Amino acid sequence: MFFSEKIISKLLKLPTPFYYYDVDIFEMTIKKVIEASKNINGKIHYALKANHQNRLLGIVAKSGLGADCVSGGEIQKALENGISAESIVFAGVGKTDAEIEYAIKNKVFCLNVESIEELMVIDSIAQKMNDKVSIALRINPNVDAYTHKFITTGLEENKFGINASDLKDALEKLSNLKNVELIGIHFHIGSQITDLSVFKNLCLKINEILRFLEERRIEVNHINVGGGLGINYMYPDEHLFPDFEGYFNVFEKFLERRPNQQLHFELGRALVAQCGALICKVIFHKTSGKKHFLILDSGMNHLIRPALYEAYHKMENISKYNELNVMLYDVCGPICETTDYFGKNVLLPETQRGDYIAVRSAGAYGEVMASNYNLRGYPSVYFSDEI
Ligand code: LLP
């Protein structure tokens, strides 16, 4: 159970709005993913973009997971929290020269290259630094992730990766470069993927690419399949932990990897979403015709997912666990934007000004995407074992 009575009584004493992280749930999730990946001997890189709280990164480091970083700032954060450079993969469609230099200087494991131009730039920077850099080519496999169009990355129309049809060209260019070494191939087709057959389609595409490389006698020792495993936003308590076994089984079954090939995963949301909640307070309850609006002290400025992707987050009135009368509410934030709401027609116990509302499954892409819009400030943060 996410909220015990004891925890709720503590939360109700804290000033809102704040993110609350259950450290035990995070630790248990990490344990489960490690256990489930043993069979397939996969290396898991925690995607910092989902949540880069130092406290959580410390747990990631202690458990021996690597990191998936998409900026120099994320690499620095990972290193500061004890994640070793040789387990960091550096992805991102727009790495600046300074970031590339920083990654090379710090000897990260691998740079995932997203275009032929980037390949040339990395080579020339490495040459200037008199170094040789391990790279993986991020290939856009044109596989539909069947997720929200704003978080789909593996289709030709998306800006990410090298189009599979340009792979030949990229390999030719690569063969003339002296300061980069191709060690792997990388994919990431999207996020919040709940249909595992999507990953099967990815495997089949990767198999084709592996055959293509073999025909050209190009050996790669690393296959990075990215992240994207989704979570259950509807019923978080019943599904606190994703189906890691099912997920890894797909790769075990359908990916034709060679014995020398190490598999890598870049999971973010699946590891950190369910351990977090955004806790806010009802400032006003107002009606308009038949509609009841709850106006909270936090909104799209602190959790933008509903406004940006029309994402669903379960909500609970944690001040009114024993209230039996329920009503339908539109739950809104305080920001001057029409899309600033957390949910429409949400069934909640009869709610009043001052009640605390928990917005669940907010550990991933919640706090990291918060802004200071309308100058309302940033939310505070509390951890389950520190309150
Ligand atoms: N690897 C790469 C190259 C990525 O671009 C991403 C996420 C991940 C790994 C981690 O994906 P995950 O396992 O977390 O699905 N803000 C959006 C999600 C954006 C995902 C961006 N890339 C949301 O709130 O749904």
pLDDT at 153: 66
Q: How far apart are CA 335 and CA 308, in angstroms?
A: 14
Q: How far apart are CA 97 and CA 293, in angstroms?
A: 48
- Which CATH number among 2.40.37.10, 3.40.50.720, 3.30.450.20, 1.10.260.40 corresponds to the domain 274-383? 2.40.37.10
Query: How many whole angstroms from 103 Cα to the centroid of ligand 1?
Result: 21
Q: How far apart are CA 271 and CA 135, in angstroms?
A: 26
The single-letter code of the amino acid at 343 is G
Ligand 1 test: best mutation among 139, 149, 191, most atoms within 8 Å of CB?
191
Cβ neighbours of residue 22 closer than 8 Å, sequence gap 6 or more: 2, 275, 276, 384
| Nearest to 60, CA basis, from 274, 369, 271, 262 | 271
The finding on whether 53 has its CB within 6 A of some atom of ligand 1 is no
pLDDT at 144: 74
| Nearest to 266, CA basis, from 27, 49, 9 | 49
pLDDT at 154: 63
The finding on whether 227 has its CB within 6 A of some atom of ligand 1 is yes
The finding on whether 203 has its CB within 6 A of some atom of ligand 1 is no
**What is the mean pLDDT for each group of 10 consecutive residues in the chain (387 residues)?**
92 98 98 96 96 98 98 98 98 96 98 95 98 96 75 68 88 95 96 95 96 94 98 97 98 95 98 98 95 97 97 97 92 96 97 98 98 98 96
Query: How many whole angstroms from 55 Cα to the centroid of ligand 1?
Result: 20
Q: DSSP string covering 36-93, please?
A: HHTTTTPEEEEEGGG---HHHHHHHHHTT-EEEESSHHHHHHHHHTT--GGGEEE--T
Query: How many whole angstroms from 356 Cα to the centroid of ligand 1?
Result: 29
* Cα of 347 vs its chain's centroid, Å: 28
CB count within 10 Å of CB 4 equals: 10
Question: How many residues are given for the chain?
Answer: 387
The b-or-e profile of 97-121 (16+ CB within 10 A means b, else e) is: eebbbbbbeeebbbbbbbbbebbbb
The finding on whether 313 has its CB within 6 A of some atom of ligand 1 is no
Where along the chain do its domains lie? 24-271, 274-383
The finding on whether 365 has its CB within 6 A of some atom of ligand 1 is yes
C-alpha angle with apex 378: 377 to 382, nearest 5 degrees?
Answer: 140
Query: How many whole angstroms from 190 Cα to the centroid of ligand 1?
Result: 7
Helix and strand numbers (H, E) in the chain are 11, 17
Question: What is the CATH code for 24-271?
Answer: 3.20.20.10
pLDDT at 157: 66
Residue nearest to atom 16 of ligand 1 (CA): 365
Query: How many whole angstroms from 362 Cα to the centroid of ligand 1?
Result: 14
For 221-376, list the strands marked E by DSSP.
222-224, 262-265, 276-288, 291-296, 315-317, 326-332, 341-349, 356-359
Query: How many whole angstroms from 268 Cα to the centroid of ligand 1?
Result: 7
The finding on whether 147 has its CB within 6 A of some atom of ligand 1 is no
Query: How many whole angstroms from 191 Cα to the centroid of ligand 1?
Result: 5
Q: How far apart are CA 27 and CA 241, in angstroms?
A: 11
Query: How many whole angstroms from 189 Cα to the centroid of ligand 1?
Result: 9
The finding on whether 305 has its CB within 6 A of some atom of ligand 1 is yes
pLDDT at 155: 65
Ligand 1 atom nearest to 191, measured from its CA: 15
